[in-house]
Amino acid sequence: MKLFQTQMILAAMSLAAAPLSAQVPAAPPAAAPAPPPVLTPAQEARFLQLGKTYTRWFLAGKADSLAGVYETTALLRMGGVENIRQQMAQVADHAGTESAVLAEKMTRRNGWPQFWHEGQFTQFADEPIVIRWVMDADGHIVGVGLGPKSRTPAVDN
């Protein structure tokens, strides 16, 4: 029975995460896409703080605040603030609340800065859930990923 519950939660979380920009970063909004930014140590620290803030807002249900930091095209592709609210509700329903933060770091995904938050959740104890925010040079969200760690795409080397 526990295996079936775990499989159902994994399936629900996969479905919940699919609309999140299809788990890949959206292209920057410029007509000719700018190359991914090279970050200074100070910018890297700033992006780390932004990622922590975005994750805190997501887990606290602050969809309007989160929508305000999305790049415009990415927010439209995401389905707007209402879809963010739905994703928040699905995570709460299927994973519960976060009981422990296991890792928070900056990585890269397809060349773009990505904040990686790995947490343990009360109703999803079999493996950590990873929340990823891909950001443009200004720290706006251009892509997002969410799901079990085992299904998280590899970061750039």
Domains recognised in the chain with CATH numbers: 2-10+41-151 (3.10.450.50)
More confident residue, 85 or 22: 85
**What is this structure's pTM?**
0.79
Instruction: Give me the half-sphere count of Cα atoms (radius 13 Å) on the Cβ side of residue 16.
Output: 23
Q: Which residues pair with 133 in a beta bridge?
A: 115, 144
Per-residue pLDDT for 43 more than 70? yes
pLDDT in tens, 74-112: 999 989 999 999 999 999 999 999 999 999 999 998 899
**Can you tell me which residue has the tokens 């890792």?**
103
**Extended beta strands in 76-155, E state:** 98-109, 112-121, 124-135, 141-148
User: How confident is the model at residue 73, as a pLDDT?
Assistant: 94
Cα 15 to chain centroid, rounded? 14
Nearby residues of 88 by Cβ (< 8 Å), 6 or more positions away: 58, 59, 61, 63
